[in-house]
Structure 1
């Protein structure tokens, strides 16, 4: 029993977490540098100013829609047990996004959301519902990307193993979550659940479209199916490695792994992946910094 506790304490040590994070990030950066070492850095030959400005403007506008849908999703989930305003929902969502930069495993998001509610148990259940739905969507869409990747690298056997063992594992985890927070889910009306799922689908569609608008600028020769599969793969890696949220290199490396067989200039892959991260994560995080100071100090 003592050994188990020591092991748990070791894994929860923040120095261990951040050391592991730095090592993986450095590994991804080394991967990127090694791939780009022999390639000249020049974007002039594929840069189309008019199309770029238009698409970038749409992507930035959709960033606001993206996070509005997330705040609305959180408000609807919490209103079941404690009515909150949209301002409170905005504060929790964007404040949590900013806190993720200093807290591991995206725990900043959970801390910001749960700390602002009186009923922590119900708030935790609502957070699990929100994350669970997005995780299912990400995994389903990610499997589409994995199927393309399996064909490219002839890993069809491994893809089959993921399907055979991954789906039962998800069902077990889902059932455990339902049982642990059964009170909240029993009170959750079917109509309310449909609203949360619909908003989740809409939000996922928004940031898929954002990413697609950027990729189509830099990779116009690739088919829409391939681009969408690549988006599913990159988002899956981002969700599967929450420890490295905000770490430069992880997303770009996953994009290179997927698109490299189809693209000669790897900068065409790195630039849109980097841009979508800046627009959807960095900019909202800066806004979230102001919300952190407005959170209820008593919570």
Structure 2
């Protein structure tokens, strides 16, 4: 039996059930991560926060403002990109971005975000929407890679890391081989990124106006600047005396290393926590502080927005041409 052949009320029931399942699933995974985290005791974490005078209403308000700014730039970037196929309001971009965040919270590598954003549009536009979302993520990743490589370079110089050059050379050879196969793939035009053929992605990128490229990349950089500063501000609140320059060396390196590791998005905090513990231990920051900062960043920038996104998920309706 096809879904389209079901009675209207039955389809509506299943539709509501799916939306509820998404929201309940997202909150269940959040609950699991917070209360059943083997690396960080949540109750100890809350106790430290309550006793830390640095987390005053003024500082908390500033942290929330940075969260707002972070997502403001992300939503504005999505509004800018999607204007290529259809102009939408900032409110629509907000709904699509936060709703997609909630829907993709527990999917591998945020893959659910592609479909979640696409269903806000008519079926004829959905492939283009998914390509635009891919471009948005590629731009953010490009900023992370560029600044992360610079950070790693400076970290090697400033902190005189004890690097095993034999292992490093093997890793470099592996990277070069991957790069070689990637170039071959680009020439063959038969390989895919996130399910999209390389040649189609290249054609779409060429058609996208340079003005949109420039603005979207600029917004990606601004967003990175905001959440990386937020991370540094949290380090200060925990009493870590570190200059902005030295902190950014480690922060940019952390985001690069944690971004290249595939994961289920809900466990993103675990990966960033593990990388942060290792890198910040090099400069003398204890494990509890590193994990606490990463957890607060996750709460502010993913959990909190997903709470608002759950409202949009529950109130979602298909575009008129897809009602059936």
TM range (shorter): 0.7 to 0.9
For the residue of structure 1 that corresponds to 2:111, the secondary structure is helix
The residue that corresponds to 1:194 in the other structure is: 214
Cα drift, residue 53 of structure 1 = 4.5
Distance 2:184 2:239 in 1: 38
The residue that corresponds to 1:204 in the other structure is: 224
For the residue of structure 2 that corresponds to 1:246, the secondary structure is helix
For the residue of structure 2 that corresponds to 1:81, the secondary structure is coil
The residue that corresponds to 2:299 in the other structure is: 278
Deviation string, structure 1 residues 252-288 (Cα, Å, up to 9, x no partner): 2111111113326322222111111110111001111
Cα drift, residue 132 of structure 1 = 0.8
Cα drift, residue 164 of structure 1 = 6.9
Kindly indicate whether the alpha-carbon contact (under 8 Å) linking 1:55 and 1:213 is maintained by their aligned counterparts in 2. no
For the residue of structure 2 that corresponds to 1:104, the secondary structure is coil
Mapping 1:101-250, distance limit 5 Å: 101-118=105-122, 119-147=125-153, 148=155, 151-155=160-164, 166=175, 169=179, 172=183, 175=186, 179-247=199-267, 248-250=269-271
Cα drift, residue 43 of structure 1 = 4.4
Distance 1:123 1:173 in 2: 27
Are the structure 2 counterparts of residues 244 and 145 from structure 1 closer, same or farther at C-alpha, using a change threshold of 3 Å? Answer: farther
Deviation string, structure 1 residues 52-93 (Cα, Å, up to 9, x no partner): 544432221111111121111111111111222222211111
Q: Which runs of 4+ in 1 moved over 6 A?
A: none
Distance 1:151 1:173 in 2: 37
Cα drift, residue 157 of structure 1 = 5.7
Kindly indicate whether the alpha-carbon contact (under 8 Å) linking 1:60 and 1:279 is maintained by their aligned counterparts in 2. yes
Cα drift, residue 114 of structure 1 = 1.7
Q: Say whether 1:267 aligns with 2:288.
A: yes
Deviation string, structure 1 residues 99-148 (Cα, Å, up to 9, x no partner): 12343331221111122223122112211211111111111222234342
TM-align CA RMSD? 3.5
Kindly indicate whether the alpha-carbon contact (under 8 Å) linking 1:69 and 1:199 is maintained by their aligned counterparts in 2. yes
Equivalenced residues, count: 267
TM value normalised by structure 2: 0.70
Kindly indicate whether the alpha-carbon contact (under 8 Å) linking 1:95 and 1:112 is maintained by their aligned counterparts in 2. yes
Distance 2:140 2:169 in 1: 23
Kindly indicate whether the alpha-carbon contact (under 8 Å) linking 1:104 and 1:243 is maintained by their aligned counterparts in 2. yes
Distance 2:179 2:140 in 1: 17
Q: Which structure has the bigger radius of gyration?
A: 2
